Structure 1
């Protein structure tokens, strides 16, 4: 494990696996760098994979006040540490963060957005988000996680089980960061059309056919806003895809080119 120092002095922990073209992997809500490590291991034969702890998670530090721009600065610091250029893959709200970073003009070679959870334009998710944030303010972290997972389309039983998992409640306060990321550029978690239009790199959007319908729909709406992008449906896969299924898809895109469809 190594650390890089972000603009505001926050230490960001990261690991590198493999060799080849650098690829930064951005985890989603309630995840640290270990969540994407199996995927990194599956791709390490061809690429230099960078997994990292987003601020406030794992071995990374944190500084107040939080701002989405600070997370973009964290990624910029990683880029500088690994040579100044890389592809980027983001999962879930990590895909939302990857989109913000790519729209900022950072020197990414390619961009992969895996089920960024943008909601329908006619639905405002801010009320549900406010309930999660209120539970966090009251210190009811496990309940906050349960409510968040229900928002994401899980069943009650699934949400309760996952929220009770080891270390999950400790990561709960960073849900506020994920809400801020998904609201960045458009209120209420709606599609940030102007932000997405600024992404000029070759891009791939991924959606599992077994995922909640709103996530599949979001994928199709996202790809329409990108200048050079394709969408691939991952057959019979839900929001979390096994690395043995996902790695070949990413390998093909990262080693080749993409045409819009």
Structure 2
């Protein structure tokens, strides 16, 4: 494990492997740097791969107050560690974060995005006050309730599934992410706009699974169309989960273009 210090003094933990052009992996809610490790390992023969714990989770630190700009600074620090520039793979809410970084001018050579939960056309009503409600639950020590509020209102899980998850042996691990889901909710709610995406000239591949849930496949298509140099790639039968043996060849081919 390595560490880099972001602009505001927050320590960001990361792993680095491989050699060649760099790619940084930005994960989503309830994820840490281990989430994309299998995909990173699959690409390490051709690339320098960097996986990291976003602030507020895993081995990374955290500094309040939170702002998306602070997370962009974290990503910029990792890109600087990789060299002058790097490709970025963004997963779920991490894909929106990657797009926001590209909008802001981060030194990103290529963007590969897996199912950003974007809503460019206002088709999905965001739950009222969700960020404040999540933050209040975490402040009260009700981490499990915060996890389930996120799952219920931002992911759309049914009550029966939520009850099963609450009793599952892995639920304690999900509670460890409670503070960070406040950050992911902020990213999803603030999101991206057509106007912002129109300024992103970076070559971008937006990937989705044909069997994914909610409107994620359609959201991926819409985001790709809104980007000047974007295109959409649908993976037949895939869901919101990253299956390395399916996704790696697609990402490798895109990076080689």
Query: Are 1:170 and 2:172 an aligned pair?
Result: no
Instruction: Quote the Cα distance in structure 1 between the aligned partners of 2:25 and 2:3.
Output: 16
Superimposed CA distance per residue, residues 192-220 of structure 1 (whole angstroms, 9 cap, x where no aligned partner): 11221121111000111111241112112
Partner SS for 1:125: coil
Partner SS for 2:212: coil
CA contact (8 A) 2:66 2:183 kept: yes
Once the 2 structures are TM-superposed, how far is the Cα of residue 241 of structure 1 from its aligned partner?
A: 2.1
Partner SS for 1:63: coil
CA contact (8 A) 2:225 2:231 kept: no
Instruction: Quote the Cα distance in structure 2 between the aligned partners of 1:110 and 1:2.
Output: 24
**Count of residue pairs brought into register by the alignment:** 251
CA contact (8 A) 2:138 2:146 kept: yes
CA contact (8 A) 1:153 1:212 kept: no
CA contact (8 A) 1:223 1:229 kept: yes
For 1:1-261, what aligned pairs fall within 5 Å after superposition?
1-119=1-119, 121-127=122-128, 129-130=130-131, 131-150=133-152, 151-162=154-165, 164=168, 165=170, 166-184=172-190, 189=191, 191-256=192-257
Deviating more after overlay: 153-162 vs 173-182: 153-162
Q: What is the TM-score when the length of structure 1 is the normalising length?
A: 0.89
Instruction: Quote the Cα distance in structure 1 between the aligned partners of 2:122 and 2:236.
Output: 26
Segments of structure 1 that go 5 or more residues without pairing to the other structure are: 257-261
Once the 2 structures are TM-superposed, how far is the Cα of residue 183 of structure 1 from its aligned partner?
A: 2.9
Residues 174 and 47 from structure 1, CA distance in 2 versus in 1: closer, same or farther, beyond 3 angstroms? same
CA contact (8 A) 2:150 2:185 kept: no
CA contact (8 A) 1:88 1:112 kept: yes
Partner SS for 1:78: helix
Superimposed CA distance per residue, residues 130-161 of structure 1 (whole angstroms, 9 cap, x where no aligned partner): 54444333322222212322331444454445
Residues 162 and 2 from structure 1, CA distance in 2 versus in 1: closer, same or farther, beyond 3 angstroms? farther
CA RMSD of aligned residues (A): 1.8
Instruction: Quote the Cα distance in structure 2 between the aligned partners of 1:125 and 1:148.
Output: 11
Match of 1:259 in 2: none
Instruction: Quote the Cα distance in structure 2 between the aligned partners of 1:161 and 1:197.
Output: 42
Once the 2 structures are TM-superposed, how far is the Cα of residue 128 of structure 1 from its aligned partner?
A: 6.9
Segments of structure 2 that go 5 or more residues without pairing to the other structure are: none
